[in-house]
Structure 1
């Protein structure tokens, strides 16, 4: 059995378009060794260009055959040629970058590095194949050079000394390691119009860089968008200065990697276009009990009106009149908590996206969901709020000895059954004028 590197010139064949249109890769053209490739041979697929590297691996299912290619994805007609049938075992989420293989002494003689424009395939020796497979294992698994676990804290200066990147930017691509370090910090980000959001499904929307004017897909933003093609891992941190906390490895949503929104410029200036990257955790977010819940309360700006959100937005409280009412209710409740000597909390980066939480002297945690109410949306808002706060309570139970759930609404519901329902499931339903109920649970 032989091993091979199949090569793709993206200027000649649109492999990304082929995949994006849903086609299954079942064969590949070969201009050399057509009589030698055989069923059972293993291959890795190499894409050339500025971000060259390995993108997939698999095996051949038969000998090469001669025929005419499908021209839809070719820049020009290559004419009849040999094809080898194959099956792809895995498309890599992270490309194996050329630099990683080029730094391996076992690849010194590899023709893909010495003669990258030679016709496909490239014969791979047993030693070279081991180097390729080990590099693939690094891309598919944990990076052996990374020794931080989710929840670990580190001084930012030490982080960059170890892994590279700039200590001045919120998005920090590393030239010495295969990482892009990104930092989220509501306390400092909001002043620049960076409103990062944690979503109920565990995803995270991260605002790109650029404090004034419309954000563009350049520099750090471009690095995030192309991280998989670059073979770089996205490492998210809570905090921007001093000591930061590692929140794990993330990747972009493959179906919708980003959207464009509006936010004020630095210092509350005019609205401008911002990029919001849709991040998905590579592994489950941290839930370890030793990770502290929440951070000092960050009051949302009641005057900021975001761009319209699509009808599929999970929370109607994030649009229109509901938004300012929601924020006002939330800020007033946080102020009431502080007046009673309680520590008001916003969710930390490892927490579910609750609106507000607080602890009493006995270390009991109370988690709260806030909902605006109108006659038209009352039932829908109460259903949504009840489900959300029960979900938050359930997620936090493993990290606190006792968790109380509060649903704080704009006014008393018009139907008594909502109070009874919340009581049956152990949720405290309260509204302005009933603060004692929310804070004492009587």
Structure 2
């Protein structure tokens, strides 16, 4: 390392990559390190290289951008970018890093520009970012994205039943229309490994023509996926399918023009929590409470439908409410359902109130009026919950009070 040498800075970690560029202002020298909060013990004398950074990138250029570059084929450069610094580059590799830095600083022709709620023609989406124009999972070769498409109009016929789950994750069905799904599929492995490979998961509602961008997601780090049963294409035999658990990243607000909900999907009251799955802090998602939750939800949905209301389940563009219904003058009621026991009552009511405040805030621009309804298994033991809900604009109800919330 010598004065005037140029360097690029690499950020380590699964979402890291090329992040900066600069030059050395002198030769490395050994200097004593003054002990401070950074060091557990006095590090003594260490090597230091004086340098200046010419510029930082707003977002790293991911590792996947370079692993697809022939200039790194057969080398260990990208596999050894961690604690052992520095790494000398040959001229071709330096040019690859320099080109990527310049392109990213300029915005890059493949820089992601869509915001949640934006609509785009699927053809135009692939023209810009790459990926297959067919199918539900599209790994892009010319950008660091995996494009996911969810569409009940076309997906249900192939056994793809994507939906929000009670734990707040979006369950997305893997690739494969016949036979058991596995990770030999490029699309399924791309979703599973996207954090390690530095790829962003971009979810869209719709599969052809004009589609709507929902937002960026990541696989749940605790339970990235589970296995379920679904029919093959055309209502064929039941087979094993992968259900990816996707967590939204950052803001996911949709514009006022985005429709809310889709036809209500009856919750399966017979489903038990999967054996061997990690426990969840949500007490409404285990055993007896899960069954009670789904029974309450289905009973309220049936009561709403019997009164002529349009009952809805959340679509991919919506927050993960349990159910909703439309009343007169396009009024929208959004409902969170909670089972109650003497042990979990306070925790459940707190959770329900917080969720409804979030749902109301995210949906209030998408309907003429939005009502927030908390539907619980029985009357709370403390009357203060009625007063609290009223103060924050939430209607609290339980079986026997259907006319109050559905009238």
- 1:388 matched to 2:352: no
State how far apart, in whole Å, the 2-side matches of 1:269 and 1:245 are. 32
Task: Name the structure 2 match of 1:38.
Answer: 3
1:336 to 300, 303, 306: 303
TM-superposed CA distance for 1:223, in Å, is 1.9
Q: Are residues 364 and 237 of structure 1, via their aligned partners in 2, closer, same or farther at CA, if it must alter by over 3 Å?
A: same
Residue 27 of structure 2 corresponds to which residue in structure 1? Answer: 63
After TM superposition, give the deviation of residue 421 of structure 1 in Å.
2.7
2:63 corresponds to which residue?
95
Q: Extract unaligned runs of 5+ from structure 1.
A: 1-33, 48-52, 67-82, 103-111
Matched, 1:286 2:253: yes
Instruction: Note the 1:97-176 alignment, pairs <5 A.
Output: 97-98=65-66, 120-123=88-91, 131-137=99-105, 144=110, 148-154=114-120, 156=122, 164-175=130-141
164, 177, 187: which one pairs with 1:197? Answer: 164
Q: Which residue in 2 is equivalent to 1:180?
A: 146
Say if 2:397 is the partner of 1:397: no
Equivalent of residue 350 in structure 1, options 308, 311, 317: 317
The structural deviation recorded for 1:383 is 2.3
Structure 2: runs of 5+ lacking an equivalent: 31-46, 78-86
Q: Residues 221 and 297 from structure 1, CA distance in 2 versus in 1: closer, same or farther, beyond 3 angstroms?
A: same
Specify the SS of the correspondent of 1:234: strand
* 1:7 aligned residue: none
2:298 alignment partner, SS class:
helix
Task: Tell me the TM-score normalised to structure 2 length.
Answer: 0.72
| Matched-pair contact (CA < 8 Å) for 2:174–2:244 | yes
Distance in 1 between the 2:245 and 2:4 partners? 42
SS of aligned partner of 2:330: coil
Aligned residues: CA RMSD? 4.4
- Secondary structure, counterpart of 2:228 in structure 1: strand
Residues 235-255 of structure 1 show CA distances to partners (whole Å, capped at 9, x for unaligned) of: 2111346653222344556xx
For residues 265 and 165 of structure 1, do their structure 2 counterparts lie closer, same or farther at Cα, with a shift above 3 Å needed?
same
**Is the Cα–Cα contact under 8 Å of residues 166 and 285 in structure 2 kept in the other structure?**
no
Structure 1 Cα separation of the partners of residues 124 and 97 of structure 2: 36
The 3 A distance-change label for structure 1 pair 354 and 434 is: same
| Structure 1 CA distance for aligned equivalents of residues 362 and 151 of structure 2 | 22
- Contact kept in structure 2, 1:259 and 1:277, CA below 8 Å: yes
Q: Which whole-Å deviations, capped at 9, do the CAs of 1:178-227 have from their partners, x for residues lacking one?
A: 542212346745973755436888x6454433464363364112223444
CA–CA distance in structure 1, aligned partners of residues 310 and 191 of structure 2? 36
- The answer to whether structure 1 residue 325 and structure 2 residue 289 are counterparts is no
Q: Hey, what's the Cα distance between the residues in 2 that align with 1:391 and 1:54?
A: 34
1:4 is aligned to none
Find the counterpart in structure 2 of residue 412 from structure 1: 379
Report if the CA contact (8 A) 2:260-2:318 is conserved.
yes
Task: Go from structure 1 to structure 2 and tell me whether the alpha carbon gap of 1:270 and 1:383 turns closer, same or farther (over 3 Å shift).
Answer: farther
The answer for the alignment partner of 2:190 in structure 1 is 223
The more displaced of 159-168 and 424-433 is: 159-168
Count of residues paired in the alignment:
368
In the TM superposition, what is the alpha-carbon distance from 1:123 to its structure 2 partner?
4.8
Residues 265, 272 of structure 1: 8 Å contact kept: yes
Q: State the Cα distance separating 1:437 from its structure 2 match.
A: 0.6
Q: 1:432, CA displacement in angstroms? A: 1.8
Conservation of the 8 A alpha-carbon contact between 2:131 and 2:141:
yes
CA distance in 1, matches of 2:311, 2:156: 20
Match of residue 205, structure 2, among 203, 226, 238: 238
